[in-house]
Amino acid sequence: MKTVGIGLLGAGIVGGSLIRRLVEEHSAIEAKTGLNLELRRVAVRDFAKERSIALDAAVLTIDPVDVVDDPNVGLVVEVMGGLEPAGELVLRALRAGKPVVTANKALLAARGPELIAAAEESGVPLLFEAAVGGGIPIIRPLSETLAGEQVQRVVGIVNGTTNFMLTRMSEDGASYRDALEEAQTLGYAEADPTADIGGGDAAAKAAILASLAFGMWAGIDNVYHQGIDSLTSADMKWAAELGYTIKLLAIAERLEGGVNVRVYPAMLPVAHPLAAIRGSTNAIFIEGPSIGELLFAGPGAGGEPTASAVLGDVIDAAREILAGAQVAPRIQLSSAELVPFEDVQTKWYVRLEVDDQPGVLAQVAGEFGRHGVSIKSVLQEGTGDDATLMIVTHRAAESQQRAARSSLEELDNVRSVASVVRVESAAP
């Protein structure tokens, strides 16, 4: 009998689903994989909490170190989230030679290279399929199937909460407030939704995707991120009029001189495969010279899909334990240069509130031109004394776009730069 003892850190939504799978589907998993996966220790926050699957009291503990140190635990699953104590526990397990499966994108984005080095030193796997794209298999395809591909670009919709909100805003004209409230009611958004709507969650995932696609570590601090909180339903409407839809994109891209990783809401042509990704669905689009274009889509969050990805990793790690392998590192981190976001060529959509006077458009166009940004299209809508200008520029360095924006803000006839959304199309 091929038996592996599993220790679980965290019994929340994902942990709870995983417990159910390991208990209820124990024999189905055994029939399919030949593995006897035994859940031997579970660290919980609250002993008294009622659980849908009753576990033996001896299995539960309040102290997560008990789980890691239990000699009957050969494989540690970390689904507690957060940076600490998760980080120290994962390191402790790896240093003790125990494979670790984690879904913790924040931890990986913050301390990836350190954790990978610890896993390598002990020769045990550190697997994290569930950290990006929930139930979508993306980590393994990127790090294994596409290991030989000189990936050009990875563009993902990797945050289900914001994609749900943007879908409601664009398809049903919902306001930002209403869309957020609905996302919270449906359980997509946390009570504190900052990481989702501010783009921080997507930035952590972008950093991980970049590391796998390009074999380098961007580091979360080098990932520019802008959230969706300044978008209005007017922007959605204008995007539609221009033939675009707005999505919060995580982009990792190989440019001349190096790699850039960034997150922002962007206008995508409605015919782009990612434009069709609706609601809380996630999707990742990969471009490469040999592979052409690949699309992966599926449930990006939720206990069940995420637990499914965690379970896949558990089975993989268990197979490796039983094969007695000194596991070769999955990720080779090179020192590809990073290109600062300021130097990346971007295309802007800018919405300006202006005085409805002759000559305003000429002034505005002049400022763009002065900073080397040329204009692709302008839409003007009058509303009495005021007017709204919707401008889409051609590509220019992000730094030039920003300089133009600053100049515009100082013009007397420009009341405000109401909105900036970058425009993405196929590779330039």
**Which positions lie near a second copy, rule CB under 8 A?**
17, 21, 25, 28-29, 31-34, 129, 135-137, 140-141, 144-150, 214-215, 273, 276, 288-299, 302, 304-305, 307-309, 311-316, 319-320, 322-330, 332, 334
Closer of 130 and 174 to a second copy (Cβ)? 130
Q: Which residue has the tokens 């393994």?
A: 140
In the complex, the smallest distance separating the C-beta of residue 127 from a second copy, rounded to whole angstroms, is 10
Rounded Cα distance between 213 and 219, Å, is 14
Closer of 141 and 198 to a second copy (Cβ)? 141
List the catalytic residue out of 98, 105, 205, 247: 205
CA 57 to chain CA centroid, Å, is 37
Catalytic residue flag (residue 237)? no
Closer of 26 and 95 to a second copy (Cβ)? 26
In the complex, the smallest distance separating the C-beta of residue 261 from a second copy, rounded to whole angstroms, is 17
In the complex, the smallest distance separating the C-beta of residue 412 from a second copy, rounded to whole angstroms, is 49
Closer of 25 and 70 to a second copy (Cβ)? 25
In the complex, the smallest distance separating the C-beta of residue 146 from a second copy, rounded to whole angstroms, is 6
Closer of 17 and 260 to a second copy (Cβ)? 17
Closer of 14 and 73 to a second copy (Cβ)? 14
In the complex, the smallest distance separating the C-beta of residue 69 from a second copy, rounded to whole angstroms, is 26
In the complex, the smallest distance separating the C-beta of residue 310 from a second copy, rounded to whole angstroms, is 9
What are the CA-CA distances from residue 422 to residues 13, 237, 377, 395 (Å)? 35, 15, 14, 10
In the complex, the smallest distance separating the C-beta of residue 189 from a second copy, rounded to whole angstroms, is 19
Rounded Cα distance between 116 and 94, Å, is 9
Closer of 174 and 309 to a second copy (Cβ)? 309
Closer of 87 and 160 to a second copy (Cβ)? 160
Rounded Cα distance between 123 and 327, Å, is 5
What 3 state SS string does the chain have?
Answer: CEEEEEEEECCCHHHHHHHHHHHHCHHHHHHHHCEEEEEEEEECCCCCCCCCCCCCCCCEECCHHHHHHCCCCCEEEECCCCCCCHHHHHHHHHHCCCCEEECCHHHHHHHHHHHHHHHHHHCCCEECHHHCCCCCCCHHHHHHHCCCCCCCEEEEECCHHHHHHHHHHHHHCCCHHHHHHHHHHCCCCCCCCHHHHCCHHHHHHHHHHHHHHHCECCCHHHCEECCCCCCCHHHHHHHHHCCEEEEEEEEEEEECCEEEEEEEEEEEECCCHHHHCCCCEEEEEEEECCCEEEEEEEECCCHHHHHHHHHHHHHHHHHHHHHCCCCCCCCCCECCCECCHHHCEECEEEEEEEECCCCHHHHHHHHHHHCCCCEEEEEEEEECCEEEEEEEECCEEHHHHHHHHHHHHHCCCEEEEEEEEEECCCCC
In the complex, the smallest distance separating the C-beta of residue 313 from a second copy, rounded to whole angstroms, is 8
What 3 state SS string does 249-288 have?
Answer: EEEEEEECCEEEEEEEEEEEECCCHHHHCCCCEEEEEEEE
| Residues with a known catalytic role | 205
